[in-house]
Amino acid sequence: MTHRPGHGHGEGPGAAAARLTGRPVGGARRLSGTLAEVALDGGQMVMVKRGDDPRAVQAEAAGLRWLGDAAAVRVPAVHGHDRRWLVTDRVLTGRPSGEAAVRFGRELAALHAARAPAFGAPPPGGPKDAYIGLAPMRNIPGTDWPRWYAEHRVLPYLRQAVDDGTIRHAEAAVVERFVERLPELSGPAEPPARLHGDLWNGNVLWGADGHVWLIDPAAHGGHRETDLAMLHLFGCPHLDEVLDGYQHAAPLADGWADRIGLHQLFPLLVHAVLFGRSYAEQALGVARAALTG
C-alpha cells in the first residue's frame, strides 16, 4: 500500500494498522514504546512501528523496499506507512545455524552486487536527510569513495563529537590525519554497492524458516566492506560461515580484513555522538591503528 497522509498523535498501533492496510484488526500487543505486534483479520501478524520524525519512517520504508527489490536478502514486506507509522511483516525467529549463515553470506553478496547509482545514493523515494539508528545521516551522492566517506560519513560525526565535548580538539587531529590518508588506505576502487547500512547483530534476525532476515536498514549506496565491517563490530553468530558464503559468491579484494577498522570508524563515531566517550576512544584507537598499520 502506498503512502497516506498521517493522522493524529493520539492514534494507537492497532488503529494505524487498520487504516494503513485497509483490514480489520483483531488485537495488538505493545513490545516497546514504539513497537507493537498486531493481528490482522484472518490471523496475519504484522509489526507496527511509530516514528517521531517523518523522514525516519520514510527512509526505513524506502530502504526495505529497495533491499527487497534486489531479490537477494530477505526483508519484511512493507504493508503501509505514513509520516508517523510503518507496518511490516512480522518475522518469526528461530536459532542461528551455520547453514543459514552460509546462505546469508551468499545473499548479502547478491544484495551488494545489485548496486546503487552512486555512493551515498538514497533508496528510490527515500529522503536525503535520513537516519542511522537515532542519529541523522545525510545521503549525498558522490563518485569517489574515499572523499565521499570522509565528507559524509566520518567528518560530520567527528565535528559533532568535538562540539559535544566527547572528543577533545587535540584528539580529533588523529582522525583528520586518517581522513587525509584515506585514498591510500581504502584499497582497490569498487563500484557503489546496495548496502543495508546499519548491519549490526540486532538488525539480523535468524528466522524460524531457516533464513536470515534483515530489519531497520539505513540503506544507501556505499562500499560493500562497510556492511561486513559492521557485522564484525558488534559480533554476529556464525560470522566465519557468513564470510565463507560471501567470499564464495563474491570474493573480497586483497587486504579486506586489514580495512575492517577503516570501515568501522563511521559507526563508532555515530555511537560516540549517541552514547559517549567509550565509543569515542574506540574510534580514536581505530584511526591510530590504521595510521600506524
Regarding whether 185 and 224 lie in a shared domain, the answer is yes
Regarding whether 103 and 54 lie in a shared domain, the answer is no
- Please say if 254 is a catalytic residue: no
pLDDT value of residue 1: 32
* Mean pLDDT of all residues in 125-130: 96
Percent of the chain with pLDDT strictly greater than 90: 93
- For the stretch 223-266, pLDDT in tens is 999 999 999 999 999 999 999 999 999 999 999 999 999 999 99
Confidence of residue 6 (pLDDT cuts 50, 70, 90): very low
pLDDT value of residue 27: 87
The total of structural domains in the chain comes to 2
pLDDT value of residue 7: 46
* Mean pLDDT of all residues in 145-161: 98
**171 part of a folded domain:** yes
Q: Which of 69, 89, 144, 198 is catalytic?
A: 198
Regarding whether 126 and 60 lie in a shared domain, the answer is no
Regarding whether 166 and 58 lie in a shared domain, the answer is no
Check whether 5 has a pLDDT greater than 50.
no
Regarding whether 70 and 120 lie in a shared domain, the answer is no
Confidence of residue 9 (pLDDT cuts 50, 70, 90): low
Q: Which one, of 223, 215, 195, 200, lies nearest residue 274 by Cα? A: 200
**7 part of a folded domain:** no
* Mean pLDDT of all residues in 79-85: 96
Spatial contact of 67 and 73, defined as CB atoms under 8 Å apart = yes
Write down the mean pLDDT value for the chain.
95
Which amino acid belongs to residue 250? A
Regarding whether 111 and 49 lie in a shared domain, the answer is no
pLDDT value of residue 42: 86
Where in the sequence is the domain holding 205, given as residue range(s)?
98-292
- CB-facing half-sphere around the CA of 134: CA atoms within 13 A: 6
CA–CA separation, 40 vs 24, rounded Å?
Answer: 6
Rounded to whole angstroms, what are the CA distances from 211 to 16, 108, 204? 29, 12, 10
pLDDT value of residue 10: 73
**8 part of a folded domain:** no
